[in-house]
């Protein structure tokens, strides 16, 4: 019976977007110390990471829906 509960566990596929998002946060923090330009670059990287990660999740959901139909 324990085996049945483990088969219900869902893990998303590996993604680089969390690392890119963390890089954006790091650039924002470094930019606060060293200059506004670095912070602006960090915000851009952060927004790109959020958009990329969102699109990746949407694509995954769409493929899962197609397989269930």
pLDDT surpassing 70 at residue 56: yes
Mean pLDDT of all residues belonging to the chain: 87
In the DSSP assignment, the letter for residue 23 is H
pLDDT surpassing 90 at residue 65: no
In the structure encoding, which two tokens stand for residue 44, read together? 């851009």
For residue 51, CA distances in Å to 6, 27, 38 come to 32, 18, 20
Please tell me the predicted confidence (pLDDT) of residue 63: 82
* pLDDT, tens digit, 9 for 90 and up, residues 24-39: 999 999 999 999 999 9
pLDDT surpassing 90 at residue 51: yes
Question: Domain segments of the chain: what residues?
Answer: 16-68
């Amino acid at each position: 019976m324990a085996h049945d509960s483990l088969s219900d566990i869902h893990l998303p596929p590996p993604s680089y977007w969390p690392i890119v998002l963390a890089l954006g946060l790091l650039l924002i923090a470094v930019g606060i110390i060293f200059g506004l330009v670095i912070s602006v670059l960090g915000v851009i990287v952060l927004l790109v990471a959020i958009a990329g990660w969102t699109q990746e999740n949407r694509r995954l959901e769409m493929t899962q829906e197609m397989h269930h139909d």
